[in-house]
């Protein structure tokens, strides 16, 4: 087993709100700057969401995405992974629009519908910087993150036409079977790249047992060594779960989309800090972060 591991860094996402961390980037120039710094710190891939430059609310505006994408591409050869998960309340058409527009190396492809509950964050939002924050997170008590078979097939075909590889976001065991179905339908191509998303309320938990369960089921369905995978864990299990994945042959995702803390009670001051910590852990165990060029080879990207 090679000792190279891809670090993905998810820069801002659409879960956390500006009040939760003063360091969460939400202006396009800050998102781009933190992505470039994360790449320089050892991330081979950056996962991008856009936010409204006026108030940090999740945004589907292609103009905002363009500013972020152009700034990153001008300074870095890091793999670009643009979300098609978007944010609460966006239509599937809005979520998919970045793929043909920017033809990124990777785009997230959420592999099934789930309840997506971020409403427990509301208790941390007594006073907020912006009015939208509390109602946004509270609304997820009644929110289904919709990814129907029709929507998934549509998005996979758009990615195929754009030469973009799907990063398949797997929130629970059953979604691995959705991926198997999409492979059989011919809308996905091997080798697939799975991103195990653990610790989201509505999906699988964020324990080592959950990771093992996902990994073993994927081995059984797709065949050991026939696919690439990575893991993220929301919140304080980010580093324990990512560290475990290294020994199982997996790649890792860190970043402020998933976790705002460097250690207990210590807010991360940037995404690069989270990447630097992951690199330190890796090197303690003789793993090395893959470069963007190595990541392209590992993932068998065509472009
Ligand atoms: N927000 C994470 C739970 C996406 O952007 O499409 C998973 C994610 C999905 O990053
Ligand atoms: Zn995301």
CA of 11 relative to ligand 2 center, distance in Å:
9
Q: How far apart are CA 287 and CA 255, in angstroms?
A: 19
Q: What is the pLDDT of residues 38-64, one digit of tens each?
A: 999 999 999 999 999 999 999 999 999
Say what percent of the chain tops pLDDT 70: 100
- How many whole angstroms separate alpha carbon 214 and alpha carbon 50? 29
Report the atom number in ligand 1 closest to the C-alpha of 169.
9
Distance 159 CA to ligand 2 centre (A): 17
pLDDT of residue 105: 98
Which of 107, 110, 116, 231 most suits a substitution to test ligand 1, by most atoms within 8 Å of the C-beta?
110
What is the average pLDDT value for the chain, to the nearest integer? 98
Residues 69-120: pLDDT tens digits?
Answer: 999 999 999 999 999 999 999 999 999 999 999 999 999 999 999 999 999 9
Q: Which of 174, 122, 120 is nearest to 147 (CA)?
A: 174
Which among 242, 276, 255 is positioned nearest to 41, based on CA atoms?
276
- Residue 189, phi then psi, degrees to nearest 5: -120, 150
Q: Sorting pLDDT into bands at 50, 70 and 90, what band is 1?
A: confident
Rounded mean pLDDT, 256-271: 98
pLDDT of residue 234: 98
Dihedral, 85, 113, 154, 176 alpha carbons, nearest 10: 100
In testing the pocket of ligand 1, which one of 8, 17, 47 has its CB within 8 Å of the most ligand atoms?
47
Picking from 284, 300, 294, the residue whose alpha carbon sits closest to that of residue 7 is 294
pLDDT of residue 55: 98
pLDDT for the residue numbered 287: 98
Cite the beta strand spans of 22-176 per DSSP E: 45-48, 50-51, 58-59, 79-82, 106-110, 114-115, 144-145, 165-170
Nearest residue (by CA) to ligand 1, atom 1, is 13
SS3 108: strand
How many angstroms separate the CA atoms of 177 and 196, rounded?
14
Q: What residues does ligand 1 touch, defined as CB less than 6 Å away?
A: 10, 13, 15, 47, 83-85, 108, 110, 169, 197, 200, 257
Q: What's the CA-to-centroid distance between 257 and ligand 2, angstroms?
A: 7
Mean pLDDT of 14-37: 98
Q: Which two tokens stand for residue 192?
A: 């697939």
Pair of tokens at residue 55: 């108030």
Contact 67, 28 (CB under 8 A): yes
Residues 56 and 66: their CA atoms lie apart, in Å, by 16
Convert the pLDDT of each residue in 199-214 to its tens digit. Answer: 999 999 999 999 999 9
CA-atom Rg of the chain in angstroms: 17
What is the average pLDDT across 151-178? 98
Closest CA to 187 of 219, 152, 212, 163: 152
The 8-class DSSP code of residue 55 comes to T
Confidence bin at 302 (pLDDT 50/70/90): confident
**Per-residue confidence at 303, pLDDT binned at 50, 70, 90?**
confident
How far, in Å, is the centroid of ligand 2 from the Cα of 74?
22
| Percentage with pLDDT > 90 across the chain | 99
Q: Please return the burial class of 282, using the count of CB atoms within 10 Å of its CB with bins 0-12, 13-18 and 19+.
A: buried
């Amino acid at each position: 087993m090679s000792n190279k591991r891809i670090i993905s860094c998810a820069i801002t996402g659409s879960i956390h709100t500006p009040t939760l961390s003063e360091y969460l980037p939400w202006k396009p120039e800050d998102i781009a700057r933190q992505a470039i710094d994360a790449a320089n710190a050892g991330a081979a891939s950056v996962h991008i969401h856009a936010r409204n430059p006026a108030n940090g609310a999740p945004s589907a505006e292609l103009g905002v995405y363009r500013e972020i994408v152009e700034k990153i591409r001008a300074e870095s050869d890091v793999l670009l992974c643009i979300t098609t998960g978007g944010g609460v309340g966006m239509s599937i058409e809005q979520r998919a629009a970045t793929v043909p527009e920017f033809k990124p190396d990777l785009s997230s492809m959420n592999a099934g519908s789930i309840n997506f509950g971020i409403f427990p964050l509301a208790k941390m939002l007594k006073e907020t910087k912006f009015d939208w924050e509390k109602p946004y997170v509270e609304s997820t008590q009644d929110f289904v993150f919709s990814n129907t078979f029709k929507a998934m097939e549509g998005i996979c075909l758009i990615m195929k036409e754009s030469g973009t590889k799907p990063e398949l976001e797997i929130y629970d065991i059953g979604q691995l079977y959705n991926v198997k179905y999409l492979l059989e339908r011919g809308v996905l191509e091997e080798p697939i790249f799975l991103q195990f998303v653990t610790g989201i309320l509505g999906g699988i938990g964020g324990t080592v047992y959950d990771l093992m369960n996902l990994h073993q089921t994927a081995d059984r369905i797709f065949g050991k060594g026939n696919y690439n995978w990575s893991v993220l864990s929301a919140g304080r299990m980010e580093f324990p779960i990512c560290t475990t994945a290294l020994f199982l042959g997996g790649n890792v995702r860190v970043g402020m989309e998933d976790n705002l803390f460097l250690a207990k009670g210590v807010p991360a001051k940037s995404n690069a800090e989270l990447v630097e910590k992951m690199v330190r852990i890796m090197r303690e165990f003789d793993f090395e972060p893959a470069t963007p060029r190595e990541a392209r080879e590992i993932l068998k990207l065509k472009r």
